[in-house]
Structure 1
Amino acid sequence: MSSEKMLSRIGGLLRKAESTDNEHEADAYLAAAQRLATAASVDLAMARAHTEARERRATPVQRLVTIGEAGRKGLRTYAQLFLAIAAANDVQCDITANSTVVYAYGFASDIDVCEALYSSLLVQMVRASDAYLRQGTYRSETTVQTVIEERGGRRVRTRVRKPVAAVTARLNFQSAFAARIGARLSEAKQETEREAEVSTPGTALALRGKSLELQDFYRRTSQARGSWRGNRTNSARSVDARRAGDRAARAARLGTAPELPASPRRLER
């Protein structure tokens, strides 16, 4: 199946998921979209393993994905969402220290899938977190924070309990949302690969060959150094926000949404 036809079919599932108010239907469409993406990758891997005479043999590519402008709040959790989607679609990533840009390494069709899923899920994540903050349930929760004070010329660290701030609630909500989306997509991917191996023996070997080629391409192409610190959660925690983010991700629907622009290791700039 061509990349264009594959994306068209995924787009149909996205529209169906977006148009239904039934949580179970939405979840089924989400899984179906991920299965289709994984199946397309499996087909590509099998073709690469068995067909040497292909006119234009697919090879890994590098693509720049913009997460947002420098200084914009929330980029860390936006980037977490993209990385979670990428991990479930055989795409490896580098990321700038300020979380503004992701460098995606993978086969073009896989990266296309990541961008389509991200553009839909990002809008849902932002809307869901905004709705959660308006409810205000996080305000009844407190969290332990470290405060540095000057005492007698010395800096003393003390731990105090304070009300959860809105920014803390938002970050915890979105971080949990991204983690759950990654888990859902990963489960769908693994199920599809198991089914493919049963129906087409040798699929696992072909996928392994594809993975090794991508790893080799990444090693030759990547200029990243150091580690991205954006995946480290803030010291301030909100259990309520994390639970709410997880629930929202379980009910998330897929769909294209133009309201927000679409958009490891840390890449030195």
Structure 2
Amino acid sequence: MTSPNAVPDRMLTRIGGLLRQAESTDNEHEAEAFLAAAQRLATRSAIDLAVARAHVAGRQRRAAPIQRVIPIGEPGRKGLRTYVQLFVAIAAANDVRCDVARTSTQVFAYGFAGDIDVCEALYSSLLVQMVRASDQYIKSGGYRSATVEKVLVEKRFGRTVRRRVAAPVAPVTARLNFQAAFAARVGKRLAEVKAEVVREADAPAEAGNPGTAIALREKELELTDFYSRTSEARGTWRGAAASLTPSADARRAGDRAGRAARLGTAPELGAPRGELPAP
């Protein structure tokens, strides 16, 4: 019998169907609606699981948070930090905490198994979208007319002189800024969907029912306790943008693509997990 604390296969199938509908449409508004619906279903599923978790009988095996390693890419591959940023943004909207390997090759996800499953499914779809959209932006050549500010350090008469100059934007700089903005926008959209669903579900508690708000709080406390006992992270991951030379044009383009969030060719939900293809 399926545990009430695991995401039912039929729910993953429904979410997968919405993702495929988003992939098949050329209308960005329809794609956005399908993505929002997928996130709404995922969030509602998590809420239902939280309520069920609060009612588990003494003899029933109570689900517990787990840690799962999410492969991001091979060491030395460019762009891993923006890939990480995308996963972390998705995780934040699905009650999953993350630690990031120093090399950005792995993310250590902490949460309930069903929530992490949802994160991986959304990440698989949105990563393909992000890479494809950034490829199209670079191929369009739109970044070539933009410049970035750089500091030149020169020696003059034994003194160090620094001066700011405008320099052309390198393709790799444009790509990474595009992807960082895409990930940030997707994270905001998913967070808005989650907040909306939680507000709708936050109804007064019924007699003998702790209510969604209390169940969610219990879930949050359980995850917080598990994370504090399990995580060995030192410090906080600063995100991809912190290490980038800023390119305003590329970021605007990435933000626009993140707003559309039309999903690319995504693996079927429930497919074997592993590293995603290189861009």
Q: TM-score, normalised by structure 1?
A: 0.91
What is the match of residue 31 of structure 1? 36
Aligned to 2:271: none
Q: Which residue of 2 aligns with 1:181?
A: 186
- 1:120·1:256 contact (CA, 8 Å) conserved in 2? yes
Alignment counterpart, residue 168 of structure 1, candidates 169, 173, 195: 173
Matched, 1:246 2:258: no
Query: Quick one: which of 106, 111, 122 aligns to 1:101?
Result: 106
The one-letter amino acid of 2:97's match is Q
Q: Give me the TM-score of the superposition, normalised by structure 2.
A: 0.88
Residue 229 of structure 1: CA displacement?
4.2
Are 1:47 and 2:61 an aligned pair? no
| Counterpart AA for 1:239 | A
Give the letter aligned to residue 98 of structure 2: C
Alignment of 1:46-125 (within 5 A): 46-53=51-58, 55-125=60-130
Where structure 1 has 5 or more consecutive residues not aligned to the other structure, the ranges are 264-269
Deviation at 1:143, TM superposition (A): 1.5
Q: How many residues align?
A: 262
Task: Give yes or no for the alignment of 1:198 onto 2:203.
Answer: yes
| Matched residue type, 1:240 | D
1:184 and 1:226 map into 2 onto residues whose CA distance is 27
Q: Which amino acid aligns with 1:92?
A: R
Per-residue deviation, 1:8? 1.4
Distance 1:197 1:227, change over 3 A: closer
Query: Which residue number corresponds to residue 261 of structure 1?
Result: 275
Q: Does the 8 Å contact 1:35/1:188 carry over to 2?
A: yes
Alignment-derived partner of residue 270 in structure 2: none
Preserved contact between residue 173 and residue 244 of structure 2 (Cα < 8 Å): no
- How far is 1:157 from its partner? 3.0
Q: Which residue of 2 aligns with 1:130?
A: 135
Separation in 2, partners of 1:110, 1:12: 18
Distance 2:88 2:72 in 1: 11
Q: How does 1:213-252 map to 2 (within 5 A)?
A: 213-234=222-243, 236-252=245-261
Deviations 1:116-170 (A, max 9, x none): 0001100110110010011111111111112233344554432211111111111
Question: Does the Cα contact within 8 Å between 1:96 and 1:102 map onto a contact in 2?
Answer: yes
Report if the CA contact (8 A) 2:99-2:108 is conserved: yes
Q: Which of 207, 211, 216 is equivalent to 2:220? A: 211
Q: Which moved more, 1:190-199 or 1:143-152?
A: 143-152
More displaced stretch, 46-55 vs 217-226: 46-55
- Indicate the SS of the match to 1:40: helix
The runs of 5 or more residues in structure 2 that have no matched partner are 268-273
Backbone CA RMSD of aligned residues? 2.0
1:186 deviation in Å? Answer: 0.5
